[in-house]
């Protein structure tokens, strides 16, 4: 006997399918960019720019004295020999130098305080319109002379596919600990690209994150889609002094060129996600990445 | 019997020793930057800037119609299958695409005309204060997405060591056939660095040019010298529209970052040397490079 019913489990529709087809595709964003907006440290003009371009810049988010404190903490972490054996620390094999420290807000009390700072978390709450938690945090050390490029990508594509982040309701903040020039591998964003989701081809292999920390292949946008977006939106090079900050939407198409100049680049990088957008099962991977790359602890920052 | 005499062959003193010591050194330039100056198409303000910074820019050296003509010739050359087998053509092994065509003023009548153009050769004569000949010419095709960097170097260091160019009395002109943005691997120059010669370490191996066309190691400035020059002079990123030109002194410290953007870069590159500065035996190599890299034909451009 067949019973007709509408009371069945509706299969979840994925608004942002990726790594499932052999053809890339450009899809419309189906989420707001600014979810809150009324209350917080960001003025309305800047917030409007964020909505349009997918990013905002603040020339002086932290004071020179704070800058010195964070640089000192960066040095301390890079010299901690015990930390070098930690899975959350990326060390360059050739030089044994620290390149990134992940989950830095749980490793360092100094950076934990920064995450809780109203200038930082307040901005994230304002954009995302809710309480927020830290999806990922890290400090990056990019050397001069040999700094390598970071190819174009949307963070959301990875977070959706590999971490199970359902919607575009996360924001990244990058606080510069060194000056960003046009010539030392500054962040490049295609302004406005956050309104388009580039569906990527290929299937996520097991433990993909180990390879993708070095260079991304699966989850990489195709050249044709990138050409279309670059023609339409152009490319902004986000320069600015140490102590300044960039906030950008989870779906911005961004990357950075290499850096042959003698000037290194360091920054603190924090990804806030809305507590109303906590991660589920990955949308295109067999299991989620480790917690230091995509947190499964959704405790709001207070 | 020992005869005292001053009538002996004085060993030639080398003002710009390089690849002869195990320690790098910063040496003062011992040549003028501008050798002529009174007559020619360059105005005095621009010429003064060239003397100070080691380079000048012209936003529109050639007309839009000429630009189209040169682009068409570039396409024609890149599709010439016979030319691909020529030693003077650099083809990327992976894609079989042409990356550079050397001695392009002897290969192409269109580019030969450009070299003879008073707007081009006239500027070179004005700076060098004499008749000039072509030491090297080439067209470059740098693709988008995968354009690699070109590390810091002084051309004169190579021309002196490997081609036997005696003095700093040569000038390069690069005519842009595509737009140069801050983000697609534009030429970077340390302005004022042309007054310092960076003596490099190491010894030139046989047939060094074959390897150095891909990536330079011998004749590469050390990181400490580059840091000193970058601190002192800073770094200019030379952006500008297609059809514009850059002229720069033979001893400018210059390089370019990679290019992950979709925007390719093409240019025509001509090196003029003074007929009063023709090449001798190499100063730090067993034999000179082939003529298409450093010409031994000193016939003045007329």
Inter-chain residue contact A226 with B258, CB threshold 8 Å: no
Q: What is the DSSP string of B220-253?
A: PPPHHHHHHHHHHH--EE--B-TT-EEEEETT--
Tell me the C-alpha distance between B18 and B158, whole Å: 9
Q: Do B185 and A257 touch (CB under 8 A)?
A: yes
| Mean pLDDT, residues B60-74 taken together | 96
Residues 6+ apart with CB under 8 A from A40: A122, A123, A125, A126, A127
Does B11 fall in a domain? Answer: no
Query: Are B260 and A255 within 8 A, CB to CB?
Result: yes
Interface contact flag, B181 A152, Cβ < 8 Å: no
**SS3 assignment, position A5:** coil
Name every chain B residue with its beta carbon within 8 A of the beta carbon of A257: 183, 185, 257-261
pLDDT of residue B212: 64
Give the confidence band of B205 by pLDDT, cuts at 50, 70, 90. confident
Contact B262 A185 (CB under 8 A): no
- Does residue B21 sit within a domain? no
CA torsion sign, B273 to B277 to B283 to B289? Answer: positive
Give the residue from A257, A259, A264, A265 with the most B CB atoms within 10 Å of its CB, the best one to mutate.
A257
Given the structure tokens 């917690």, which residue do they identify? A291
List chain A residues with CB under 8 Å of B153: none
Q: Please compute, for residue A247, the number of CA atoms within 13 A of its CA located in the half-sphere on the CB side.
A: 27
| Element holding A27 (H helix, E strand) | strand A25-28
What ipTM goes with this model?
0.86
How close does chain B come to A202, measured CA to CA in Å? 19
User: For residue B223, is pLDDT > 70?
Assistant: yes
Residue B176 corresponds to which tokens in the numbers above?
């842009």
Q: What is the pLDDT of residue A203?
A: 82
pLDDT tens digits along A211-224: 665 555 778 999 99
Q: Minimal Cα distance from A263: which residue of B?
A: B227
A282 C-beta neighbours (distance < 10 Å), count? 20
Q: Which of A137, A142, A139 is nearest to A97 (CA)?
A: A142
Q: Establish, for the pair of chains A and B, how many residue pairs have beta carbons separated by less than 8 Å.
A: 66
Tell me whether residues A235 and B185 touch, CB distance under 8 A: no
Q: Which residue has the tokens 């005869």?
A: B3
- Residue B92 forms part of a structural domain: yes
Of A171, A135, A162, the closest CA to residue A252 belongs to A171
Q: Is the pLDDT at B9 greater than 50, yes or no?
A: no
Instruction: Indicate yes or no: CB of B235 within 8 angstroms of CB of A181.
Output: yes
Q: What is the DSSP letter of B204?
A: P
B23 lies in some domain: no
Task: Give the per-residue pLDDT at B219.
Answer: 84
Task: Using CA coordinates, name the residue in chain B closest to A152.
Answer: B260
Which stretches of A143-194 are assigned E, i.e. beta strand? Answer: 150-153, 170-176, 187-189
pLDDT digits (tens, 9 = 90+) for B167-185: 999 999 999 999 999 999 9
In this predicted structure, what is the pLDDT of residue A133?
98
Compare CB distances from B258 to A226, A258, A263 and report the shortest one's residue: A258
A260·B151 Cβ contact <8 A? yes
Q: Which pLDDT score is estimated for A8?
A: 46
Cα angle: B131, vertex B137, B141; to 5 degrees: 150
Burial class (CB in 10 A: 0-12, 13-18, 19+), B57: buried
* DSSP letter for each residue of A171-182: EEEEEESS-B-T
Chain A contact set for B190 (CB, 8 A): none
The predicted structure's pLDDT at residue B1: 46
Q: Which residues of A touch B259 (CB under 8 A)?
A: 257
| Full domain range(s) for residue B222 | 29-277
Domain assignment present for B24? no
Of all residues in chain B, the one with the smallest CA distance to A222 is B145
Work out whether the CA dihedral B263, B265, B266, B267 comes out positive or negative: positive
Q: Six-digit token pair at A248? A: 């950008």
Three-state DSSP state, A236 = strand
Chain B residue at shortest CA distance from A253: B261
pLDDT of residue A12: 60
User: How many angstroms away from the CA of A101 is the closest CA of chain B?
Assistant: 25
E-assigned strands of A121-219? 132-142, 150-153, 170-176, 187-189, 196-199
Per-residue pLDDT of B68-122, as tens digits, reads 999 999 999 999 999 999 999 998 888 888 999 999 999 999 999 999 999 999 9
- Residue B213 is predicted with a pLDDT of 57
Does the beta-carbon distance from A257 to B257 stay under 8 Å? yes
The pLDDT value given to residue B237: 97
Name beta bridge partners: B89: B101
Determine whether the interchain pair A261/B223 forms a contact, defined as Cβ–Cβ distance below 8 Å: no
Report the CATH number at residue B180.
2.60.120.620
The pLDDT assigned to A29 comes to: 97
Residue B216: its pLDDT value, please?
54
CB B173 within 8 A of CB B120: yes
Q: Which residues of A touch B188 (CB under 8 A)?
A: 183, 260-261
Q: Pairing between strand A170-176 and A265-274?
A: antiparallel
**Taking 90 as the threshold, does the pLDDT of residue B202 lie above it?**
no
List of chain A residues with pLDDT < 50: 1, 5-6, 8-10
Query: Given the DSSP bridges, would you call strands A265-274 and A132-142 parallel, antiparallel or unpaired?
Result: antiparallel
In a domain, B294, yes or no: no
pLDDT at A193: 98
- For residues A147, A152, A154, A158, the Cα torsion angle rounded to the nearest 10 degrees is -70
Does residue A291 sit within a domain? no
pLDDT of residue B209: 73
Q: How does the average pLDDT of chain B come out, rounded?
A: 92
What's the total number of domains in chain A?
1
The residues of B whose Cβ lies within 8 A of any Cβ of A are 144-145, 149, 151-152, 181-183, 185, 188, 223, 226-227, 230-231, 235, 237, 255-263
Q: Is residue A83 part of a domain?
A: yes
């Amino acid at each position: 006997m067949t019973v007709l019913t509408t009371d069945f489990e509706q299969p979840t529709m994925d608004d942002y399918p990726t790594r499932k087809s052999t053809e890339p595709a450009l899809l419309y964003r189906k989420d707001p960019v600014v979810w809150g907006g009324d209350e917080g440290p960001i003025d309305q003009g800047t917030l409007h720019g964020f909505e349009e371009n997918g990013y905002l810049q603040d020339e002086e988010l932290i004071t020179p004295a704070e800058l010195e404190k964070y640089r000192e903490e960066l040095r301390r972490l890079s010299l901690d020999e015990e930390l070098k054996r930690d899975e959350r620390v990326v060390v360059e094999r050739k030089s044994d130098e620290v390149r990134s420290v992940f989950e830095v807000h749980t490793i360092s009390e100094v950076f934990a305080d920064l995450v809780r700072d109203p200038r930082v978390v307040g901005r994230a709450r304002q954009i995302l319109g809710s309480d927020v938690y830290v999806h990922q945090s890290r400090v990056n050390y990019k050397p001069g002379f040999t700094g390598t490029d970071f190819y174009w990508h949307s963070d959301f594509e990875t977070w959706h596919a590999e971490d199970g982040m359902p919607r575009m309701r996360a924001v990244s903040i990058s606080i510069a600990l060194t000056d960003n020039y046009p010539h030392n591998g500054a962040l490049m964003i295609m302004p406005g690209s956050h309104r388009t989701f580039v569906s990527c081809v290929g299937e996520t292999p097991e433990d993909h994150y180990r390879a993708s920390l070095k260079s991304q292949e699966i989850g990489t946008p195709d050249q044709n889609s990138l050409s279309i977006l670059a023609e339409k939106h152009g490319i902004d090079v986000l320069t600015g002094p140490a102590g300044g900050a960039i906030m950008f939407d989870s779906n911005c198409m961004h990357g950075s060129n290499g850096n042959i100049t003698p000037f290194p680049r360091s920054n603190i990088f924090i990804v806030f996600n809305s507590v109303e957008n906590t991660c589920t099962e990955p949308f295109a991977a067999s299991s989620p990445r480790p917690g230091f790359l995509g947190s499964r602890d959704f405790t709001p920052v207070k």
